[in-house]
Amino acid sequence: MSASDVAAQSCSFTLHLLVGVCIFRVTAPVPLRAPTGATAQKLEVFAAAPPLPQLPGLNPIDAGQDESAIRRPEESPVVSLPGFKYDFSKVALRATLLFPFLTPGLALDQIVPGERREIMASFRDPDAPAPSRRHGGREKPPLVLGTAALQALIDRCWSRRDRWSVFEPLIALAGTYNPDTGDLPAALHRYVQENGLQPYVDATIRDARMWVELGLAADHVDFIGFISRYASEHPATKATIELLFLLDKLAQGSLDALVTLLDIEPAKDLEWTRRVNGDAFRWLAEIRRYYQAQLERRGLDSAVALRQYYSRVRLAILTRILRTTPHGYRSSDARFLIGAVHWREGHVIDALQSWRDLAVDPTDAYVTVYSDILAAVRDSSGGNRQDVDSARVDRILKSEHGRWLIASIDRLRRFGYHLDTF
């Protein structure tokens, strides 16, 4: 999963060992050149230009993003490995759009209103019906689900490989039910927390993980398009806020898949693919070269620069959540994540500034960890680099990732999977 430093706390030697192995496998460094100064810091992450109609939520296609640079596979789009069979047709179809957070990039102002539009929106007639809450000319009803029905829905939307196709039940509910009242926000919240990110470990061969992660990346354009359309129609609603948290998860998943792609050495790591489908092997090598060239064009040809780029993407999304969330809904969750991004980037003062504004809400997803963070910040005399217990904060963040990893292992087992099965 995430390429940040992680560790898990557990109560047995076996679980310690398992988690340790997982962390080692999922945090492999990107084999890129050393940082080249401040080039990446000057890079523009977002542009205000309107997206193309077929790509809502994204910038116009970059002129340098030439689809002809990647030939289409001519043989079967199926890779059959021992215990693993994968049809990569969608991956091939979206070869130049596998990492939309990178190229062409988010048109975030098209997804969430910018500051000026937010100010203008504040002057809306309070007595006017909210169009975002209407369906077919009528007020949208609240979604009503019991605990068991809600869990069954989230389980139905779980998949190890194809995320978009199984997300359709939630799309249907989002188009029918109220975005603020009822269980729709809760359903989206549960989806993000339980289905949003999964750990993938290549314990034996790397081929299967690579193909599955590329398949997940191929779905990102669909998710971004849906989130963009829904947020435009339902601005500043709880359901939209939950979808923006999903967008943040997608950005993390995009980086994970890109790191996996860059980390492989096709001739060394993809021997099974070469044996069963030589055309697929050559195509995958071309994809890797293509995105290496895209990164070089953008000055992102180092692991540090690439991570910083995605950190800025995440910060932009999370900041928009803070600016548009209704009545502070999940604002502390956003502040915690903003602070965590800053902390891992070494921006301690920025992290502390975000964390000092935390207000404990027991319904938040990260209330346990940010309560610990808040206690650590308040225990320092002034909240500066010199007097904050950095080791304590690191332990809190690593423990949170460990809790997520253990919960993920349990959820995988529920569906008959392990970390290294796909």
DSSP string, 340-397: HHHHHTT-HHHHHHHHHT----TTSTTHHHHHHHHHHHHHSSS-STTTS-HHHHHHHH
Q: How far is CA 77 from the centre of its chain?
A: 27
pLDDT at position 65 is 55
Is pLDDT at 26 greater than 70 in this prediction?
A: no
What proportion of the chain, given as a percentage, has pLDDT over 90?
Answer: 72
Band of the pLDDT at 33, cuts 50, 70, 90?
very low
218-222, 312-316, 338-342, 387-391: segment of lowest average pLDDT: 387-391
The residue that leads in pLDDT, 25 or 99, is: 99
What proportion of the chain, given as a percentage, has pLDDT over 70?
Answer: 78
pLDDT at position 69 is 66
Band of the pLDDT at 376, cuts 50, 70, 90?
very high
For residue range 133-142, what is the model confidence (pLDDT) as tens digits?
Answer: 554 446 899 9
Tokens (6 digits) for 70:
């990647």
Band of the pLDDT at 348, cuts 50, 70, 90?
very high
Find tokens 């027991």 and name the residue: 362
SS (H, E, C) 178-233: CCCCECHHHHHHHHHHHHCCCCCCCCCCCHHHHHHHHHHHHCHHHHHHHHHHHHHH
Residues 150 and 173 sit within 8 Å (Cβ to Cβ): no
User: Nearest to residue 394, comparing CAs of 340, 349, 357, 354?
Assistant: 340
Residue 314: other Cβ atoms inside 10 A? 22
For residue range 7-20, what is the model confidence (pLDDT) as tens digits?
Answer: 333 333 333 333 34
For residue range 290-302, what is the model confidence (pLDDT) as tens digits?
Answer: 999 999 999 999 9
- Could you tell me the residue ranges of all domains in the chain? 31-327
Tokens (6 digits) for 405:
């990893």
5-9, 186-190, 206-210, 260-264: segment of lowest average pLDDT: 5-9
pLDDT at position 62 is 65
Tokens (6 digits) for 385:
């680099």
pTM comes to: 0.84
